[in-house]
Structure 1
């Protein structure tokens, strides 16, 4: 009996010294933001001991998976429409939606002299293929289509378009040389104040609908709430901005 009592006391003392339970947080993240989220998740994991598992894809496809019961805890979309729909449909937690990044669209080529800082290359069309993300499922693809329509070039260039399933695939078509140039997320070709390679045209914001990227919480849990709080910190916002995104100050966030 004494031995059993001692064992129980020892187990109790050990339980007091064990850190809080570590949870797994399953995050559905739009392709354009996955590299940033890997860094944010790594910082969060070091600070808290929780584990973050990322699944990336086109916003439209991730939305469909969530609607069909995919077991995600958090959704980082490349637009504000799908998170709002999930709230309205009762799939997401009411009041959890916030803007974590403001995306920018650029026309980019790894060839240093192809794009001369403007859209003229699209009018001259000295290329075989132009890459964009699928406008039906990817917000950056929709922004690319709206830009071409604004320039009056959609009908002329539609036959030369190579459509990626998401903005990551659209970038790969250009990076691999399968397309000479393409509309990509600025975050894919920009780091710490400068473009990584090639030539580009930074598309004016009024050429397309704003790319407002919102997050929404899908499951209750202290760990996922803590991750959302982490994404709102000044350090996280600075990291997001270093990838070429805009951000909103917390008090400016629209719900």
Structure 2
């Protein structure tokens, strides 16, 4: 499983009630903070967190991965689980709007912005794999929106060039970005240019930090100390890419008070405050 498992143990009574959560990796710092705040009010509840790309988590949940709550970076996947009868009806709820940010290594001395990607020193760009990661899809549509990628007329999917963003069959784009988009503007004046894919947006952030020196990442990760200290960033404006409408749903346990307590806490004033401080927008605000 391409996922990170965090288990909160040793802080609770032996008979603590347990809630198992699977979540998109843009929440890997935010959700633990939210859980700590929740646990301060509910000391008898132990919360286990598993992180991975939304698409892969959806596949694993559909195949029987046990969990009580699912937090996705895209509303599509919780909705599909609900349609398949694998989620509690009526519990799907938007909790945030994700923000996409371009991160650049501070040592490059570049002004933050998409124009920086034309610099000859930027020959690799880290993104989450758009086949199954919403932030990767947002990255591709952002580059297309600003003319840095152009759809290929000869892409191996009929009518691909005329499809709107929301209708693109992302799961079928397994040939890599350059089989479907022309990266000519990103390659101009350079010996080469390639996309480097992370299994999820957190993995893409690691790749940017470790080697590519540039990445289109979740703002919630860019604001964390390791990336904030070593880089500069530009935040994509709303509407400039495929929307990151992040939703969560109760998979099972609607009758369990501990599950519903965490479910409600996420959109409480305290929970929403944590999300906003972490770089997310709140739906309706």
Q: Indicate the larger mover: 196-205 or 218-227.
A: 196-205
- Mapped to 2, the partners of 1:73 and 1:42 lie a distance apart of 18
Q: 1:191 to 1:128 in 2, by over 3 A?
A: closer
The 8 Å contact of residues 110 and 197 in structure 1, kept in 2 or not, is answered as yes
Pairing of 1:67-106 with structure 2 (within 5 A) = 67-106=62-101
How many angstroms does 1:232 deviate by? 1.4
Question: Partner of 1:167 in structure 2?
Answer: 201
User: What secondary structure is seen at the aligned counterpart in 2 of 1:205?
Assistant: coil
Q: 1:196 to 1:101 in 2, by over 3 A?
A: farther
Question: Partner of 1:43 in structure 2?
Answer: 37
Question: Partner of 1:189 in structure 2?
Answer: 222
Q: CA RMSD for the aligned pairs?
A: 2.0
How many angstroms does 1:191 deviate by? 6.1
How many angstroms does 1:197 deviate by? 4.5
Report the TM-score when normalising by structure 1. 0.83
- Mapped to 2, the partners of 1:72 and 1:25 lie a distance apart of 8
**Where does the alignment leave 5 or more consecutive residues of structure 1 unmatched?**
1-18
How many angstroms does 1:222 deviate by? 1.6
The 8 Å contact of residues 27 and 53 in structure 1, kept in 2 or not, is answered as yes
How many angstroms does 1:43 deviate by? 2.0
The runs of at least 4 aligned residues of structure 1 exceeding 3 Å deviation read 112-115
Does residue 228 of structure 2 align to residue 228 of structure 1?
no
Q: Indicate the larger mover: 153-162 or 128-137.
A: 153-162
- Mapped to 2, the partners of 1:140 and 1:53 lie a distance apart of 24
How many angstroms does 1:115 deviate by? 3.7
Report the TM-score when normalising by structure 2. 0.75
Match of 2:18 among 24, 33, 36: 24
The 8 Å contact of residues 142 and 242 in structure 2, kept in 1 or not, is answered as no
- Mapped to 2, the partners of 1:42 and 1:228 lie a distance apart of 14
The 8 Å contact of residues 112 and 199 in structure 1, kept in 2 or not, is answered as no
Question: Partner of 1:152 in structure 2?
Answer: 147
Number of residue pairs matched?
Answer: 228
The 8 Å contact of residues 88 and 249 in structure 2, kept in 1 or not, is answered as yes
The 8 Å contact of residues 102 and 112 in structure 2, kept in 1 or not, is answered as no
User: What secondary structure is seen at the aligned counterpart in 2 of 1:53?
Assistant: strand
Instruction: Specify which structure has the higher proportion of helix.
Output: 1
Question: Partner of 1:3 in structure 2?
Answer: none
Q: Deviations over 1:150-190 (max 9, x none)?
A: 222232249511000000000001112x1020101011122
User: What secondary structure is seen at the aligned counterpart in 1 of 2:123?
Assistant: coil
Q: Deviations over 1:87-112 (max 9, x none)?
A: 11111111101111111001001325
